[in-house]
């Protein structure tokens, strides 16, 4: 079971606009956003753009995808604009060195980039939120699909005053008028359009200050007070750490983090306002398996690498994702320690090796590379570069790079040149091997692991398939819990009883997840896994005990009754399923359990819960009328992975 959300990024190419940015410079946008019929997903607005003309030109244009109504006024008196369904073209004899104001009024019902959640249901979690990267902000706001056009966007949003509205920048005013309120936000610096964002929902927040006084606003749902601390644990520490490690102060006025329902990715680094999946709103027990620390640090690192300096095109995507992955890992080292950090780097290398073995390795500078390449190869390249030039020159180069290109766009050479300048080293061989070459040089990484990571020398030599004994003996003496976890997995169930002497919760989890046939001599130890403070362990142990010892399976159900599990209710949904198929288990409650399980397929629940419920109901052939209806609805869900899952399930029937 892989519980990691895929962060998939579609890349934009903006050829036409790369041309426009050399003749026109859009400086500032003041956008007033309001809404019409929420069931029809209607959004409307007025945006006033200020722009400078750099060279004589007879037209300028903005992106506006599939708008219903759109009109424009130039310099407060001239009605202008041809609209072709994709772009608004303003024809006028613009003279070099003049400044203009363009006011655009529009109405639309966007099919993507702006999402309306649960407005058709009672009892759901009603929200409206944006996702610009890969989807184009120009679906709801006339703006620029090209990342190289950076504008200071100030949003002003009017909505029902019972809700909270969160957007880029600092909230400078909230004006209440009758049942509505208008929230006015102020940005001081420019950003690319894909980073413009807002979220509307029922939220409360807590604020803390970073060491240098930046306000960190952390939002959560009002009825989930207990999840605040585990979710945002280490937030301030991560923030202070990254500022120090990167060597350049956080570039924006404030920082907000907002969880939303049914998000498309794990998180999105909108400038000063990260939006993340509410699957990361977690309780104390979930922290061990599914905490927000990595995503928290990753999106924060993007505030420099992506938001402050932005790639010119997809060729240089690693300058965003490789850097965010690298700095997130350093933040995790700060929080979870050296052993954890080393193990994650090892894991990234294995994922890259698997990709290589499958013949899917690409050059880091190939814009069609996989996320694995952009994120994990990118992080490894920075790790090796740091090793090559040393801490002092690496940090100096990064700082110079950020200072020089702040609020601008960058290419890979811009970064490499700064490291060459700070270190005095010629990096062309390094660039050939790690950035331009399609080949994945695992041998160099393995040498690095052996040389720098104590404990990996013996571990890397192990081959559990060739010799189980060697691996079993390794476990007797190794004290690195992360490596042990890996060895337990590689033993595929052939573990000695003595593994239960291993103490850490992750080692025990590896036992629960890899030992599916439980030897009777191991039974008592194995049963103790049900008491572990890990929902992933409980889920695996419950299922394995239930199927290995049918005479006692009611006992295991009684012990785990009432455990909900992660936000996707992994334990509860498994429990309900097992309760339904266990002979003579609480027959009086059978109908109630079936109804509860079916209820979890309904749209008022997050797609992760629904997906679990559909999968289990399907397995026991109990997806009846209500479940079928919800499955049909799921086919049209905005999350493509979930809708694909629903389609496949319907086809399989």
**What does the binding site for Zn ion look like in residue numbers (CB under 5 A)?**
321, 324
354-359, Cβ contacts within 8 angstroms, sequence gap of 24 or more: 355/440, 356/440, 356/442
* CA 267 – CA 278 distance, rounded (Å): 10
CB of 318 to Zn ion, least distance (A): 11
Nearer to Zn ion, 320 or 598 (CB): 320
Nearer to Zn ion, 217 or 321 (CB): 321
CB of 7 to Zn ion, least distance (A): 6
* CA 644 – CA 653 distance, rounded (Å): 15
CB of 377 to Zn ion, least distance (A): 14
CB of 322 to Zn ion, least distance (A): 9
CB of 215 to Zn ion, least distance (A): 23
Nearer to Zn ion, 379 or 627 (CB): 379
* CA 204 – CA 211 distance, rounded (Å): 23
DSSP for residue 87: E
Nearer to Zn ion, 94 or 305 (CB): 305
Closest CA to 319 of 330, 329, 331, 308: 308
Nearer to Zn ion, 81 or 132 (CB): 132
Nearer to Zn ion, 402 or 573 (CB): 402
Nearby residues of 148 by Cβ (< 8 Å), 6 or more positions away: 14, 17, 18, 21, 192, 310, 312, 409
CB of 43 to Zn ion, least distance (A): 26
CB of 303 to Zn ion, least distance (A): 11
- To the nearest 10 degrees (0 to 180), the angle between helices 293-302 and 235-246 is 40
CB of 266 to Zn ion, least distance (A): 9
CB of 352 to Zn ion, least distance (A): 17
Nearer to Zn ion, 376 or 508 (CB): 376
Nearer to Zn ion, 324 or 435 (CB): 324
Distances (CA, A) of 268 to 112, 177, 303, 402: 15, 32, 10, 21
CB of 628 to Zn ion, least distance (A): 37
Nearer to Zn ion, 8 or 620 (CB): 8
Nearby residues of 422 by Cβ (< 8 Å), 6 or more positions away: 389, 393, 394, 396, 397, 400
Nearby residues of 33 by Cβ (< 8 Å), 6 or more positions away: 43, 44, 45, 141, 155, 156, 157, 158, 198
CB of 644 to Zn ion, least distance (A): 22
In DSSP terms, 276 is beta-bridged to 259, 267
Nearer to Zn ion, 42 or 351 (CB): 351
Calculate ∠ Cα 603-605-610, nearest 5°.
Answer: 80
Q: Residue number with the shortest CB distance to Zn ion?
A: 324
DSSP codes of every residue in 358-427: TT----TT-TT--HIIIIIIHHHHHHHHHHHH-HHHHHHHHHHHHHHHTTEEE-HHHHHHHHHHHH----
DSSP for residue 7: -
* CA 242 – CA 248 distance, rounded (Å): 9
Nearer to Zn ion, 286 or 324 (CB): 324
Nearer to Zn ion, 109 or 137 (CB): 137
Residue 343: CB atoms within 10 Å: 21
Check: CB of residue 187 under 8 Å from CB of residue 27: no
* CA 130 – CA 113 distance, rounded (Å): 5
Q: What is the C-alpha radius of gyration for the chain, rounded to an integer number of angstroms?
A: 27
* Alpha helix (H) residue ranges in 304-377: 318-336, 338-357, 371
Nearby residues of 497 by Cβ (< 8 Å), 6 or more positions away: 519, 521, 522, 525
Nearer to Zn ion, 377 or 569 (CB): 377
CB of 263 to Zn ion, least distance (A): 13
Instruction: Answer positive or negative: Cα dihedral of 562, 563, 567, 569.
Output: negative
| 58 burial via Cβ count (<10 Å: 0-12, 13-18, 19+) | exposed
Sheet containing 215-220, strands listed edge to edge, beginning at the edge strand earlier in sequence: 204-209, 215-220, 255-260, 273-277, 267-268
CB of 376 to Zn ion, least distance (A): 12
Longest dimension (CA), the chain: 87
Check: CB of residue 194 under 8 Å from CB of residue 112: no
* CA 137 – CA 114 distance, rounded (Å): 8
* CA 177 – CA 347 distance, rounded (Å): 54
3-state secondary structure of 139: helix
CB of 311 to Zn ion, least distance (A): 12
Nearer to Zn ion, 324 or 545 (CB): 324
DSSP for residue 4: P
Nearer to Zn ion, 321 or 418 (CB): 321
CB of 245 to Zn ion, least distance (A): 17
Check: CB of residue 364 under 8 Å from CB of residue 435: yes
Nearer to Zn ion, 324 or 502 (CB): 324
């Amino acid at each position: 079971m892989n519980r990691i959300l895929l962060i998939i990024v579609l890349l934009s190419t903006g050829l036409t606009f790369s041309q426009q940015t050399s003749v026109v410079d859009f400086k500032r946008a003041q956008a007033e956003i309001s809404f019409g019929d929420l069931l029809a997903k209607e959004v409307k607005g007025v945006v006033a753009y200020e722009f400078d003309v750099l060279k004589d030109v007879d037209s300028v244009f903005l992106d506006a995808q599939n708008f219903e109504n759109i009109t424009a006024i130039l310099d407060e008196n001239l009605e202008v604009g041809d609209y072709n369904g994709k772009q608004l073209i303003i024809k006028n004899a613009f003279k070099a060195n003049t400044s203009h104001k363009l006011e655009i009024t529009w109405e639309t019902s966007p099919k993507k980039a702006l999402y309306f959640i649960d407005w058709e249901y009672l009892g759901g979690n009603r929200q409206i939120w944006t996702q610009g990267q890969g989807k184009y902000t120009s679906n709801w706001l006339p703006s620029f699909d090209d990342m190289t056009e950076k504008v200071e966007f100030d949003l002003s949003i009017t909505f029902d005053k019972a809700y909270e509205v969160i957007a880029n920048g600092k909230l400078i005013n909230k004006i209440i008028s009758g049942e509505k309120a208008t929230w006015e936000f102020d940005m001081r610096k420019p950003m690319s359009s894909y980073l413009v964002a807002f979220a509307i929902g029922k939220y409360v927040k807590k604020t803390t200050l970073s060491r240098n006084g930046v306000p960190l606003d952390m939002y959560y749902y009002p009825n989930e007070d207990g999840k605040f601390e585990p979710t945002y644990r280490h937030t301030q520490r991560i923030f202070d750490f990254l500022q120090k490690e990167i060597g350049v102060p956080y570039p924006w006025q404030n920082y907000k983090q907002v969880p939303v329902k049914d998000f498309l990715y794990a998180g999105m680094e909108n400038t000063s306002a990260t939006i993340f999946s509410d699957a990361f709103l977690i309780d104390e027990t979930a922290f061990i398996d599914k905490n927000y620390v990595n995503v928290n640090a990753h999106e924060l690192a993007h505030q420099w690498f992506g938001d402050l300096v932005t790639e010119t095109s997809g060729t240089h995507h690693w300058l965003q994702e490789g850097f965010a992955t690298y700095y997130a890992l350093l933040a995790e080292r700060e929080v979870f320690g050296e052993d954890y950090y080393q193990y994650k780097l090892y894991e990234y290398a294995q994922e890259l090796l698997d990709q290589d073995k499958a013949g899917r390795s690409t050059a880091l500078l190939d814009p069609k590379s996989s996320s694995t390449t952009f994120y994990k190869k990118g992080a490894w390249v920075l790790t090796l570069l740091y090793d090559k030039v040393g801490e002092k020159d690496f940090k100096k180069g990064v700082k110079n790079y950020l200072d020089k290109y702040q609020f601008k766009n960058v290419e890979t050479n811009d970064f490499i040149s700064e490291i060459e300048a700070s270190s005095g080293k010629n990096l062309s061989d390094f660039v050939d091997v790690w950035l331009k070459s399609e080949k994945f040089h695992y041998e160099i990484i393995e040498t690095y692991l052996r040389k720098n990571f104590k404990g990996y020398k013996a571990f890397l030599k192990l081959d559990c398939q060739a010799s189980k004994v060697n691996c079993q003996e390794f476990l007797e003496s190794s004290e690195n819990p992360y490596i042990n976890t890996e060895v337990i997995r590689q033993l595929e169930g052939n573990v000695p009883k003595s593994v239960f002497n291993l103490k850490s919760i992750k080692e025990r989890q590896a036992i629960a997840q890899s030992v599916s046939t439980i030897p009777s001599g191991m039974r008592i130890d194995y049963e103790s896994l049900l008491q572990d403070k890990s929902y992933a362990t409980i889920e695996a142990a419950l299922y394995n005990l239930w199927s290995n010892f049918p005479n006692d399976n009611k006992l295991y159900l009684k012990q785990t009754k009432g455990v909900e599990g992660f936000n996707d209710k992994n334990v509860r949904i498994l429990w309900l399923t097992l309760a339904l198929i266990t002979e003579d288990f609480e027959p009086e409650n059978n109908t109630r359990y079936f109804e509860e399980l079916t209820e979890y397929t309904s749209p008022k629940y997050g797609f992760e819960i629904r997906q679990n419920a559909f999968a289990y109901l399907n397995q026991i052939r109990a997806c009846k009328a209500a479940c079928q209806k919800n499955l049909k609805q799921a086919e049209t869900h905005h999350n493509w992975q979930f809708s694909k899952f629903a389609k496949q399930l319907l086809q399989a029937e």
